[in-house]
Amino acid sequence: MSRSERSPLLLAGLLAAAGVAHFAAPRPFDETIPRGLPGTPRTWTYASGAAELALAAGLALPRTRKTAALAAAAFFVGVFPANVKMAADWRHRPAPQKAAAFGRLPLQVPLVLWARGVARNAQGRP
Protein backbone atom coordinates (compact mmCIF):
# COMPACT_ATOMS: atom_id res chain seq x y z
CA MET A 1 0.00 0.00 0.00
CA SER A 2 1.44 3.35 -1.03
CA ARG A 3 1.77 6.38 1.20
CA SER A 4 -1.08 8.15 -0.59
CA GLU A 5 -3.30 5.11 0.00
CA ARG A 6 -2.38 4.95 3.71
CA SER A 7 -2.85 8.66 4.37
CA PRO A 8 -6.68 8.69 4.37
CA LEU A 9 -6.75 5.56 6.50
CA LEU A 10 -4.35 7.08 9.03
CA LEU A 11 -6.48 10.22 9.19
CA ALA A 12 -9.58 8.05 9.59
CA GLY A 13 -7.85 6.20 12.43
CA LEU A 14 -6.95 9.44 14.17
CA LEU A 15 -10.53 10.69 13.92
CA ALA A 16 -11.97 7.34 15.00
CA ALA A 17 -9.71 7.24 18.07
CA ALA A 18 -10.68 10.81 18.99
CA GLY A 19 -14.36 10.01 18.45
CA VAL A 20 -14.21 6.96 20.71
CA ALA A 21 -12.37 9.00 23.35
CA HIS A 22 -15.21 11.54 23.39
CA PHE A 23 -17.59 8.76 24.47
CA ALA A 24 -15.21 6.75 26.67
CA ALA A 25 -13.93 9.73 28.69
CA PRO A 26 -16.12 12.76 27.96
CA ARG A 27 -15.25 14.94 30.97
CA PRO A 28 -11.96 16.41 29.62
CA PHE A 29 -13.73 17.28 26.36
CA ASP A 30 -16.64 18.88 28.23
CA GLU A 31 -14.18 21.30 29.82
CA THR A 32 -13.01 22.56 26.41
CA ILE A 33 -16.47 23.52 25.16
CA PRO A 34 -16.79 27.31 24.90
CA ARG A 35 -19.39 28.57 27.37
CA GLY A 36 -21.22 30.70 24.81
CA LEU A 37 -22.54 27.68 22.91
CA PRO A 38 -26.18 26.73 23.50
CA GLY A 39 -26.93 23.45 25.23
CA THR A 40 -24.76 21.47 27.60
CA PRO A 41 -21.06 20.79 27.15
CA ARG A 42 -21.77 17.03 27.23
CA THR A 43 -24.13 17.35 24.26
CA TRP A 44 -21.37 19.13 22.30
CA THR A 45 -18.83 16.52 23.40
CA TYR A 46 -21.02 13.68 22.15
CA ALA A 47 -21.92 15.53 18.95
CA SER A 48 -18.24 16.17 18.27
CA GLY A 49 -17.40 12.52 18.94
CA ALA A 50 -20.18 11.36 16.64
CA ALA A 51 -18.96 13.75 13.93
CA GLU A 52 -15.42 12.38 14.26
CA LEU A 53 -16.68 8.82 13.93
CA ALA A 54 -18.76 9.74 10.87
CA LEU A 55 -15.80 11.51 9.28
CA ALA A 56 -13.60 8.49 9.97
CA ALA A 57 -16.11 6.21 8.28
CA GLY A 58 -16.37 8.55 5.30
CA LEU A 59 -12.59 8.73 4.93
CA ALA A 60 -12.29 4.95 5.03
CA LEU A 61 -14.55 4.51 2.00
CA PRO A 62 -13.20 5.59 -1.39
CA ARG A 63 -16.65 6.66 -2.61
CA THR A 64 -17.08 9.19 0.18
CA ARG A 65 -13.43 10.03 0.84
CA LYS A 66 -13.26 13.40 -0.93
CA THR A 67 -16.40 14.78 0.72
CA ALA A 68 -15.41 13.41 4.12
CA ALA A 69 -11.91 14.86 3.79
CA LEU A 70 -13.26 18.31 2.97
CA ALA A 71 -15.67 18.02 5.89
CA ALA A 72 -12.79 16.94 8.14
CA ALA A 73 -10.81 20.03 7.14
CA ALA A 74 -13.81 22.18 8.06
CA PHE A 75 -14.25 20.24 11.30
CA PHE A 76 -10.63 20.89 12.30
CA VAL A 77 -11.19 24.61 11.74
CA GLY A 78 -14.48 24.43 13.66
CA VAL A 79 -13.00 22.86 16.79
CA PHE A 80 -10.18 25.41 16.96
CA PRO A 81 -12.09 27.63 19.46
CA ALA A 82 -12.25 24.66 21.87
CA ASN A 83 -8.48 24.28 21.61
CA VAL A 84 -8.03 28.01 22.25
CA LYS A 85 -10.28 27.73 25.31
CA MET A 86 -8.26 24.78 26.58
CA ALA A 87 -5.00 26.70 26.16
CA ALA A 88 -6.46 29.71 27.99
CA ASP A 89 -7.85 27.54 30.78
CA TRP A 90 -4.54 25.68 31.17
CA ARG A 91 -2.26 28.74 31.13
CA HIS A 92 -1.61 28.42 34.89
CA ARG A 93 -1.06 24.66 34.94
CA PRO A 94 2.35 23.01 35.23
CA ALA A 95 4.67 23.57 32.26
CA PRO A 96 4.13 20.17 30.56
CA GLN A 97 0.34 20.55 30.57
CA LYS A 98 0.55 24.17 29.47
CA ALA A 99 2.95 23.19 26.65
CA ALA A 100 0.57 20.43 25.51
CA ALA A 101 -2.41 22.80 25.49
CA PHE A 102 -0.59 25.54 23.60
CA GLY A 103 1.11 22.99 21.33
CA ARG A 104 -2.26 21.81 20.07
CA LEU A 105 -3.03 25.20 18.55
CA PRO A 106 -0.53 25.14 15.66
CA LEU A 107 -1.24 21.43 15.09
CA GLN A 108 -4.62 22.37 13.64
CA VAL A 109 -2.86 23.74 10.54
CA PRO A 110 -1.23 20.44 9.50
CA LEU A 111 -4.48 18.60 10.25
CA VAL A 112 -6.40 20.92 7.93
CA LEU A 113 -3.71 20.58 5.26
CA TRP A 114 -3.66 16.80 5.66
CA ALA A 115 -7.42 16.59 5.19
CA ARG A 116 -7.25 18.88 2.14
CA GLY A 117 -4.48 16.72 0.68
CA VAL A 118 -6.59 13.60 1.15
CA ALA A 119 -9.48 15.34 -0.65
CA ARG A 120 -7.18 16.43 -3.48
CA ASN A 121 -5.80 12.92 -3.91
CA ALA A 122 -9.31 11.44 -3.87
CA GLN A 123 -10.36 13.34 -6.99
CA GLY A 124 -11.37 11.13 -9.84
CA ARG A 125 -11.67 8.03 -7.69
CA PRO A 126 -14.90 6.02 -7.67
CA 55 to chain centre: 9
The string of pLDDT tens digits covering residues 75-122 is 999 999 999 999 999 999 999 999 999 998 999 999 999 999 999 999
Q: Is 0.85 surpassed by the pTM of this model?
A: yes
Q: What whole-number distance in Å separates Cα of residue 31 and Cα of residue 114? A: 27
Three-class DSSP category at 125: coil
Q: Are 33 and 21 in contact (CB under 8 A)?
A: no
Q: Is 33 exposed, middle or buried (0-12, 13-18, 19+ CB in 10 A)?
A: buried
Average pLDDT, the chain: 92
The string of pLDDT tens digits covering residues 17-31 is 999 999 999 999 999
Q: Are 64 and 12 in contact (CB under 8 A)?
A: no
